[in-house]
Chains A and B, each alone.
Chain A
């Protein structure tokens, strides 16, 4: 792949664990790639799996959903529902030919600023390895 390709990643983070973990990475001045933009939701349970499709259509090269570790959900169960939904969505995407390296899910707690950096790096590297996802982009219409 093109070395200069900088993937565009959209991430959904739960307010209580992963968003706080990403904040902690900031407070700790941990440096990581700038390819990822975060949308804050209150819980991964809020993230509709169809958002992933929409993100790809809108031009994302990769999508990340990150929440609390199992058992730690601020709302008790949201991440469990998310885990089922995204397990299925991921299988489905892979089946229709979306490279699994484009979609990731992670558990990052409020105290795991360092893990957040590792997750971002892995997600970005993966998306770099597969290259731009123009085939699924809305503005590049393939009649």
Chain B
């Protein structure tokens, strides 16, 4: 069970360590049900840390993102560890980054938070209306209970408000951690990719129409890319000008190319944290496309990313007997 005292104690101990630069966790946000990432540098700050069904953010993104800041002239780079709080899915992002050498194991101290699933704010908004004042939530006996600003409490069955990725989640417990904050939770999810299969069974014209409808609303804000813990290129080729792989102009042809290319770059790398879909301001079902490739990779190559730090990256390996039914 979630033990916030334990979480804060461990956080305090961790940030006190000489070899830790800072800790990244979650803290109560300032708007509605939102939780924000929190960079803790001193023991005094730990009290604002929290863990709840609202902690959707995959903080592993910051492992590669923050390092992009230049070191001021005359200063040495701070090579101390980053302590990171991770849910099951987040830990897989860390593992995949380890596989890809985006970080080294010594650079990160992983604080594992076994997770019972986070909410989909859209589902919550539908039930409770869009809140403005900060509110909180917690897991309680198979339900998720919301403590509203007016003091009232409302509880819903988990499956009613959980994010879709959590309903099918098979890895709620961190796959890799230096310390686990509480007991592992029982795995509830299984995934047969029904949503992907359903779309797959349609005709090319129907599929094209479905995605054109979605991609036409893409505003190319690149939120999906920026939030993704696996998209850590210094310079993304999808908005690079020389050479121009695709135009930045916002029209459905370029948007389609962008989204297909983005999904392709995540093939065998996406760890299904669902952050891209969560942050998309125009509600493109991005996980539907990522999950398609996840399914194919799992079925064809018996590979799941972000589980074994020693595994070889899917797109940098092969088996001589890989299937090739379609090849003439």
Contacts and interface: CB of A to CB of B under 8 A. Distances in A.
B200 A95 contact: yes
Interface in B191-228: 196, 199-200, 204-212, 216
A96 B207 contact: yes
Contact of B327 (A105, A123, A142): A105
Interface string A16-31: 0000000000000000
Contact size range, A: 35 or more
Interface stretch (B92-100, B132-140, B145-153, B252-260): B252-260
Nearest to B321: A70
Interface in A61-81: 70-71, 77, 80-81
Nearest to B196: A95
Given A84-B318, A89-B264, A95 B251 contact: no
A98 B210 CA distance: 12
Interface of B is mostly: helix
A85 interface: yes
B211 A96 contact: yes
Nearest to B292: A95
Contacts of A54: 245-246, 257
Nearest to B265: A50
A135 B208 contact: yes
Nearest to A70: B320
Contact of B323 (A87, A95, A99, A141): A87
Contact size range, B: 35 or more
B265 to A, nearest CB: 9
A142 B314 CA distance: 35
Nearest to B325: A87
A96 B289 contact: yes
B101 interface: no
Contacts of B301: 84
A71 B253 contact: no
B111 interface: no
Contacts of B206: 97
Contacts, number: 123
A104 B212 CA distance: 23
B296 interface: yes
A80 B328 contact: no
Contact of B322 (A87, A90, A119, A142): A87
A96 B208 contact: yes
Nearest to A142: B252
Contacts of B263: 92
A87 B324 contact: yes
Given A80-B320, A135-B212, A90 B326 contact: yes
A94 B300 CA distance: 16
Contacts of B268: 88
A83 B322 contact: yes
A122 B328 contact: yes
B167 interface: no
A107 interface: yes
Contact of A80 (B207, B216, B259, B322): B322
Closest 7 CB pairs of A and B: A97-B208, A97-B207, A106-B328, A80-B318, A99-B204, A96-B211, A88-B267
11 contacts: A54-B257, A80-B320, A83-B327, A84-B314, A84-B322, A96-B211, A96-B260, A96-B289, A97-B208, A105-B326, A142-B216
Interface of B: 196, 199-200, 204-212, 216, 237, 245-247, 251-254, 256-257, 259-261, 263-264, 267-268, 289, 292-293, 296-297, 300-301, 314-320, 322-324, 326-328
